Amino acid sequence: MFRLKNKLLAPIAGVGILLGGAVSAADFTACQVTDTGGIDDNSFNQTAWKGVLDAQEKLGIGGRFLESQAETDYEANIVSLLGGQCDVIITVGFLLGDATKAAAEANPDQKFSIVDYAYDPAIPNILGQVYATDEAAFMAGYLSAGMTETGILGTFGGINIPPVTIFMDGFVHGVNYHNAQKGTSVTVLGWDVESREGLFTNNFDSLDDGRAYAQNLYDEGADIVLPVAGPVGLGSAALADELGVDKLKIIGVDADLYLTDPAKQHVYLTSITKRMDATVLSVIEAALEGTFEGGLLVGTLANGGVDLAPFHDMDAMVSDELKQELDDIRQGIIDGSISVGD
């Protein structure tokens, strides 16, 4: 027991010496608070955490995370990271917006960054990271409309909040664009752009819901489903795996799920990637270099902040013509000739 204690004290003493010296990358700690999906959700939180891991590797900083198990944990988790141990606190998700704002206003010297939330007016010590996800989702919608055999597509969300519905908006508009260009009549179940209502699981953690919602959409004829709910979509992938990919395909969100969900990788037609890892890394770089300031960081198709993942195993199923059209649409969105909204 005594030997164990000595072992424990040694690193603590070491840290004490380091703190006395100049601030270097090794002293810099980036802390992250997840939402209820958890750090290993294969999509949303995991992608953001990858940004911290990349920074650890590239810049030699320290990283810590705290998982929220319930919505009541948000504030508690942020509070337990205060007190000078974190150089920047990154909160992941729109739902942490209120808690992050309260903590940032009570602690004006602490740097914060939040994924998926833009404060208006901006708060000087919060850097928001937001994404034009509808640009990539538009391409996914166009692709799905070109791929569907039943003429029916499905989507559902986690919670009816802007960073979720922006995927669904882009997807529906992409499908409508395909209908207008090609004279098809593909429909999307699960989201009504006009009334702002649709299918929502009202959580970001139940794989059972993901399965049930995909099953409902499949029963209504959908053969491609876009779940926008973090790990909930893994339940949909399990269903697609059982039914067979010729009957049901899934479009991943946030990360390239072909890579992050290797067990079910064959069910993903593509993924709408949201490069939170890249923006988190640049936030950490800014904080480390002293150029950090409150405001907004926007990821777009043009700067690679959002994108459509490769088709991987399904590459052969997508016709060269469709691929060419998607490339044209990408160019059109970037140069502004195609609007992803109404």
Contacts to another protein by CB under 8 A:
4-5, 7-8, 31, 36, 64-67, 69-73, 75-77, 79-83, 85, 95, 98, 103, 106-107, 159-161, 165, 196, 202-203
Is residue 295 within 8 Å of 282, Cβ to Cβ?
A: no
* DSSP code of residue 201: -
Closest-CA residue to 302 (of 264, 266, 246, 340): 340
The residue (of 98 and 327) whose beta carbon lies closer to another protein is 98
Q: How far is the CB of 223 from another protein (least distance, A)?
A: 28
**Local structure of 223: helix, strand or coil:** coil
Q: How far is the CB of 232 from another protein (least distance, A)?
A: 14
Q: How far is the CB of 161 from another protein (least distance, A)?
A: 5
DSSP percent split of the chain into helix, strand, coil, nearest 5: 50, 20, 30
Q: How far is the CB of 309 from another protein (least distance, A)?
A: 27
The residue (of 1 and 22) whose beta carbon lies closer to another protein is 1
The residue (of 182 and 196) whose beta carbon lies closer to another protein is 196
Cβ partners under 8 Å of residue 75, min gap 6: 99, 102, 103
DSSP letters spanning 17-52:
HHHHS---GGG-EEEEE--TT-TTSSSHHHHHHHHH
The residue (of 66 and 147) whose beta carbon lies closer to another protein is 66
The residue (of 64 and 266) whose beta carbon lies closer to another protein is 64
Q: How far is the CB of 85 from another protein (least distance, A)?
A: 8
Q: How far is the CB of 77 from another protein (least distance, A)?
A: 6
| Amino acid at position 8, single letter | L
Tell me how far apart the alpha carbons of residues 81 and 165 are, in angstroms, rounded to a whole number: 30
The residue (of 95 and 145) whose beta carbon lies closer to another protein is 95
Residue 197 has φ and ψ, to the nearest 5°, of: -125, 155
Is residue 83 within 8 Å of 50, Cβ to Cβ?
A: no
Task: Tell me whether the omega of the peptide bond preceding residue 231 falls within 30 degrees of 0, making it cis.
Answer: no
Q: How far is the CB of 229 from another protein (least distance, A)?
A: 12
The residue (of 62 and 221) whose beta carbon lies closer to another protein is 62
Question: For tokens 């602690």, what's the residue?
Answer: 107
